[in-house]
Amino acid sequence: MIDKKHNAYWIETYGCQMNIAESNALELSLIEHGISKAKRGEEADCVIINTCSVRKTAENRIWGRIGFYKHLKEDHDLTLIITGCMAERLHDEIIEMAPAVDHVIGTNDKYRIAAILSGASDERKEEYTFTHNYHKMGDISSFVPIMNGCNNFCSYCIVPYVRGREISRSVTSIIEEVKRLEDLGVKEITLLGQNVNSYNYTENGILYQFPDILDKVVREATQVKWIRFESPHPKDFSPDLISLIAKEEKLPHHLHIPLQSGSTKILTAMRRKYTRDSFLALISDITRAIPDMTYTTDVMVGFPGETEDDFNETLSVINEVKFIEAFMYYFNPREGTKAVEMSHQVPIAIRMERLNRLIENQRALTKEHKLKRCNDTVELLVEGKAKKNKEHYLGRSEHNEMIVFEPKKPLQNGEVVTVALSGLVGNTYKGTLI
């Protein structure tokens, strides 16, 4: 039990969108408990590090941050809290190896932190608790977590071991949050879950699956421009979901859908529960119903047992789908997952070499797509002033593209405008307001 009152907090967040959303919720509950935000870590009297455990590199970084705050504590009265997936996975190790850490709080227990730091009563809850607020004040976009956890146990993934089994959030709670965000002027909502399209909740005797809750959010969020969702799993992408996206204007024609590998042999070893052919069939079903759909994805190379032929199968799927962007990484053995024990581990040099070829290939695809897009006219949501040139504005398109453009008049965040694309500034489009 921490027995002193705290005045100023500082949060460091690592990892996925779910962690970002939960840090936003934590920030608001700290403010509700009378603790204000410090300008930087050195000026705070409580620091919370919201950690990620998806790869060893992510955890190594946290040990570095703990070291930094350990030194700061030598001449600075500071409470240090470690939370998130690494806290869940390495709870005892952190307590043993880092005495500078005052509290280690598991990823599903973040709701307790504000009470602990403000001396309020610290009530533990059995189940994962969806709080009511994941919005960063002033942003025109907001995450709305609708699920937590995952039941898939892909053989390389730590998430099911640190976030637990899938829990879906109540329909009432989701709609309340969406309506409140609408009142706050939010124009873009992203429904979040590690496996968002396996949402499953019964309320008043009615079963809501993902297309049902998405449809309800579309109906209720009358002032919101776009409703996105992340991350869908290819195995749970139903024909109902495709037809809903095809008919609803609020559902952007852009999808982030993880592929991971283009080889059915490797997908099976990953326990992804779909094949190369079923993935390609899904993409062609979606593209037939929504011809202007654009796709981004996640791809892993160097999974145990991956041969040059398997790698080439991955490249061929990528070139067939023509993803406009991709998150690409090589296999990282993760303690506690099945894949770490697998035979035929691929040497790091080969994993890195394949990753470089994958990146080169994707760079060419992305460039080809972007050059083809120049001279298009796009509708976008104004997100604010451009970083480099405050005369210009930054906006996001339906296809999740960032555009820097010259205004003809002052604009408000959240306004919908039309811009003529005229080229690229590095990886960002540039354009002129029409």
Footprint on this chain of ligand SF4 (rule: CB under 6 A):
150, 152-154, 157, 159-160, 194-195, 233
Amino acid (1-letter code) at residue 138 = G
Residue 80 or 259: which CB sits closer to ligand SF4? 259
Q: Are 27 and 37 in contact (CB under 8 A)?
A: yes
Shortest distance, CB of residue 426 to ligand SF4, whole angstroms?
31
In 300-347, alpha helices (H): 308-321
Looking at 14-114, which runs of residues are DSSP E strands? 36-37, 46-51, 79-84, 103-106
Q: Which amino acid is at 16?
A: C
Residues whose CB falls within 8 Å of the CB of residue 231, separated by 6 or more in sequence, listed in order: 193, 194, 195, 196, 256, 257, 258
Between 7 and 57, name the residue whose CB sits nearer to ligand SF4.
57
Rounded to the nearest 5°, which phi and psi values hold at 399?
-90, 25
- Closest to 9 measured CA to CA, from 52, 41, 56: 41
CB-CB contact of 426 with 400 (8 Å): no
Residue 201 CB, shortest distance to ligand SF4, in Å, is 18
What minimum distance in Å lies between the beta carbon of 263 and ligand SF4? 17
Residue closer to ligand SF4 by CB (options 83, 194) is 194
Tokens of 380: 């976008």
Q: Min. distance of Cβ 11 from ligand SF4 in angstroms?
A: 23
Give the whole-angstrom CA distance, residue 226 versus residue 252. 6
Tokens of 314: 């991955």
Cβ closest to ligand SF4, residue 63 vs residue 153 = 153
Cβ atoms 108, 164 nearer than 8 A: yes
Question: What's the min distance (Å) between Cβ of 273 and ligand SF4?
Answer: 9
Both tokens of residue 232? 């869908």
Closer of 162 and 386 to ligand SF4 (Cβ): 162
Compare residues 233 and 250 and give the one whose CB is closer to ligand SF4: 233
C-alpha–C-alpha distance, residues 35 and 92, integer Å: 28
Q: At its nearest, how many Å lie between ligand SF4 and the CB of residue 195? A: 5
Nearest residue (CB) to ligand SF4, 114 versus 150: 150
Q: How far is the CB of 152 from ligand SF4 (least distance, A)?
A: 4
Walk across the sheet containing 226-230 and list its strands. Answer: 141-145, 188-192, 226-230
What is the three-class DSSP state of 348?
helix
Q: What's the min distance (Å) between Cβ of 251 and ligand SF4? A: 22
Q: State the pairing for strand pair 206-209/200-203.
A: antiparallel
Closest CB to ligand SF4 among 229 and 405? 229
